[in-house]
């Protein structure tokens, strides 16, 4: 409430100054430019991932991930004891987010496409593939599916970029990309 009420109580019928109209037009045009840029970036700039999302339960998702890991495990990752899983090209690959790790370690082939499934079995986590620009939110009860085609060989880190508790800073995983 103002200290002094306006003389004309129907304020929306007051004339608008030309400078105010100019700023409204500038803001509207800028909003359209930004909207067009986001669409263009997605189509031509390949900056945003096209992905799918499905409802699931943590138990059902974990069962699929464990079945994949059991079938394609080729070894263990260093001191962590995490399984290294090497699924065939073109297959569905499951990555589990849980306190405070990404499970399992994936070994993918350069130039081959995979359907990467992501879900959490406890609460919200963030998936950030370093040093690439892939950032996703991973929620329990939802299975995110991203088509991933590695373009260079090497080891890529996975970090959680959503605060998930006291061990958040330790939540890291790996994807190894090999040339075949």
- How far apart are the C-alpha atoms of 81 and 148, rounded to whole Å? 25
Compute the average pLDDT of residues 50-68. 92
pLDDT in tens, 30-41: 999 999 998 888
Distance CA 139, CA 135 (A): 13
Average pLDDT of the chain?
90
- pLDDT for the residue 49: 65
Confidence band of 29 (pLDDT split at 50, 70, 90): very high
What torsion, rounded to 10 degrees, do the Cα atoms 21, 25, 30, 33 define? Answer: 180
Report how far Cα 103 is from the mean position of its chain's Cα atoms. 16
* Domain range summary for the chain, segments of one domain joined by +: 1-48, 51-178
According to CATH, the topology of domain 51-178 is Immunoglobulin-like (2.60.40)
The yes-or-no verdict on residue 127 having pLDDT over 80 is yes
Task: Provide the pLDDT confidence category of residue 108 given band limits of 50, 70 and 90.
Answer: very high
pTM: 0.74
């Amino acid at each position: 409430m103002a200290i002094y009420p306006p003389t004309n109580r129907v304020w929306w019928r007051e004339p608008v100054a030309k400078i105010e109209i100019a700023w409204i037009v500038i803001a509207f045009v800028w909003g359209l430019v930004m909207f067009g840029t986001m669409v263009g970036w997605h189509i031509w700039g390949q900056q945003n991932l096209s992905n799918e999302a499905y409802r699931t339960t943590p138990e059902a998702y974990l069962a699929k991930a464990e079945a994949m890991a059991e079938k394609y495990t080729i070894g263990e990752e260093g001191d962590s004891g995490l399984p290294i899983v090497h699924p065939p090209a073109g297959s569905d690959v499951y990555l589990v987010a849980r306190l405070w790790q990404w499970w399992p370690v994936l070994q993918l082939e350069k130039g081959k496409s995979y359907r990467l499934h992501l879900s959490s079995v406890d609460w919200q986590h963030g998936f950030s593939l370093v040093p690439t620009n892939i950032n996703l939110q991973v929620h329990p009860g939802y299975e995110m599916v991203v088509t991933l085609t590695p373009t260079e060989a090497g080891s890529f880190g996975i970090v959680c970029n959503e605060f998930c508790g006291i061990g958040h800073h330790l939540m890291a995983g790996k994807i190894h990309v090999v040339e075949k």
